[in-house]
Amino acid sequence: MPELGEGRGSSVHVWHVPADLLPISPTEIERWSVDAPGGRHWILSERPFPDGILDSIDSAVDVVIWGPERMGRWIGEAVLSGDLVAHSPYSQSGLDAEHGAHTPPARESLGQRRTLRPLVDLDSWLVQRGWEGVNTTPVLLYAKLWLVSGSLVGPDDEREWGAWQVLEDPWSSSLAIYDSDEELSYPPRLRAVGPSEGSWTDMWDFPPELLRLLDSRKQGEPDSDEGPVSSVMLEWWRFDPETAELSESPVTIPGWIIDVEGAPTQILHGRNGRRYEYE
């Protein structure tokens, strides 16, 4: 709790205000402060409250209050950074009723869409730019996971079947081999944001960037068995698009909506640290 200082060894009283129809009133806060012990207090409120609600409290009581929006941002950012693990139970019957006849794959129906872990430390990123006080909202950025299978063709027309997982990141307009070790174990339930129109790649056209990922170099046969030294050449095995089978599934990338006063709202990519327009 940076707002309450860094007093080592001193305790912080944490209070929770459950959700209700009405906001917290100054009268309620005054009544609470009469009985509150001295020291530092952190109030987590699911009810909104007016500005200046703490103005009437005695200065001997050090209080910080968070409303629903601040709590939501903090929880979302903690889950994305891995500091907090969130996992909720589910009802299979409820899921069936919600999705009806068109039930997505099991991982998706359980609210566990594949989500990559962030590589950007948001706090450090903001400090480097002098933006410690800007408003940030954690979100998920839509991407695609492609399963590509087909034949690699060697220099002598020999063939070898292979399968690859390819990540399509429409924000950076890039393709990369997908690494499942980079997934979050418990993806957060956050709002997902799509890229601008026309950002997706037509994978069925097999763009050069995709073929570069699929092509492979393999060791060929030694040039000669005579003499003490023989050389082995690396040979290109090229992917044959005519044998290809493709399927896609959703995957998300962590990110944040960045609101800087006087500047257009942008999205911070949680993997490459770049900013993109938020439409």
Q: Please tell me the predicted confidence (pLDDT) of residue 275.
A: 95
Give the DSSP letter string of 107-165: HHHTT--EEBPP-S-HHHHHHHTT-TTSEEEEEEEEEEEEEEEEEEE-TTS-EEEEEEE
- Is the model's pLDDT at 102 over the cut of 50? no
Q: Please tell me the predicted confidence (pLDDT) of residue 279.
A: 75
- Is the model's pLDDT at 90 over the cut of 50? no
Tell me which of 210 and 92 has the higher pLDDT: 210
Tell me which of 41 and 105 has the higher pLDDT: 41
- Is the model's pLDDT at 111 over the cut of 80? no
| Mean pLDDT for the stretch of residues 266-274 | 96
Q: Please tell me the predicted confidence (pLDDT) of residue 71.
A: 78
The C-alpha atoms of residue 47 and residue 65 are separated, in whole angstroms, by 11
- Is the model's pLDDT at 128 over the cut of 90? yes
The C-alpha atoms of residue 200 and residue 195 are separated, in whole angstroms, by 8
- Is the model's pLDDT at 92 over the cut of 80? no
Q: Please tell me the predicted confidence (pLDDT) of residue 151.
A: 94
- Is the model's pLDDT at 100 over the cut of 50? no
Percent of the chain at pLDDT > 70 equals 80
The C-alpha atoms of residue 146 and residue 245 are separated, in whole angstroms, by 10
| Mean pLDDT for the stretch of residues 146-153 | 95
DSSP annotation of 55 reads T
Q: Please tell me the predicted confidence (pLDDT) of residue 53.
A: 85
Q: 40, 4 in Cβ contact below 8 A?
A: yes
- Is the model's pLDDT at 153 over the cut of 90? yes
Task: Tell me the three state secondary structure of residue 38.
Answer: coil
Burial label for 256, CB within 10 Å (0-12, 13-18, 19+), is buried
Task: Tell me the three state secondary structure of residue 78.
Answer: helix
1 pLDDT band, cuts 50/70/90, is low
171 pLDDT band, cuts 50/70/90, is very high
Q: What average pLDDT does the chain have?
A: 82
238 pLDDT band, cuts 50/70/90, is very high
Q: Please tell me the predicted confidence (pLDDT) of residue 17.
A: 87
Q: What share of the chain is helix, strand, coil (3-state, %, to 5)?
A: 20, 35, 45
Burial label for 167, CB within 10 Å (0-12, 13-18, 19+), is buried
Residues 6+ apart with CB under 8 A from 85: 79, 185, 186
Tell me which of 19 and 214 has the higher pLDDT: 214
